[in-house]
Structure 1
Amino acid sequence: MADKLKTIPIIPAQQANQVHAEITSCADAEPYALRVIGDSMAPEFLDGHIIIVDPAMPPINGAYVVIDYRGETTFRQFVVEEGRKFLKALNDAYPTVEMVENYSVRGVVVQRASRRRKDLKHYY
């Protein structure tokens, strides 16, 4: 199997402090797995799916992120429209929230998996 190169973005420290959770060691920058709980991100991410989160990836418009906002850690789509930033649930039963306070991105979802091979999907 051929190794794939991974691009590591270089961003100014001031911007990193505003957008990313603080990375203090190499281990903090390693991708990690989480299990999706609930239906707020259905139909793309179903209850029980496993997501791989890369804390070193910067959030871009449309990316799926794990983010700390207003004292909660949540999984949503990061949306930027006309300079305003939103957290959007894919399930219309959940509200879209405009981020007007400080937030910290814990990482960007780079892969989705479940028990079935057909559910494997890469996002970056």
Structure 2
Amino acid sequence: MSEDCSYNELYPLQVLDDSMEPEFPEKCVIVIEPSEVCATGAFVVAEAQGERWFRQYISEGESAKRLVALKSGYPDIPLKDGEFKIIGVIVQRNVGRKVKHYHPYIPNGIPPKPVGLA
């Protein structure tokens, strides 16, 4: 008997609007890792207010969480505990043949600098 591991597999989606520009241009491809956890600053696909959103997750403590578009003019989406779910985290962006990787479990996606290396 084999177990189905497909829920852990990465999958691509195409960005259909300009709300996450300039980092994620319309029609670029994002690669999602299914996960319900991430660090603040991670780019995520989340369910909130009865919709699925591609936004940046910002947490400023237990009571101040929200989803934020990168392009101005799009409102923040406030998140209340028990009323939202992180579906997955963006681990890669493909624009044409240019690939960029993201680290969704490190705050703001920036890995720490190595210490003690000359």
TM-score by length of 2: 0.77
Q: Aligned-residue CA RMSD in angstroms?
A: 1.7
Q: Does 1:85 align with 2:65?
A: yes
> Gaps spanning 5+ residues in structure 2: where?
104-118
Find the counterpart in structure 1 of residue 16 from structure 2.
Answer: 37
- Which one has a larger percent strand, Structure 1 or Structure 2? 2
Q: Does 1:62 align with 2:22?
A: no
- Which one has a larger percent helix, Structure 1 or Structure 2? 1
- The AA in structure 1 aligned to 2:53 is T
Contact 1:30 1:56 in 2 (8 A): no
Find the counterpart in structure 2 of residue 102 from structure 1.
Answer: 83
- Residue-by-residue CA offset, 1:42-82 (whole Å, 9 max, x unaligned): 11000011000001372110000001111101100000013
Contact 2:7 2:34 in 1 (8 A): yes
Q: Structure 1 vs Structure 2: percent identity of aligned residues? A: 38
> Gaps spanning 5+ residues in structure 1: where?
1-23
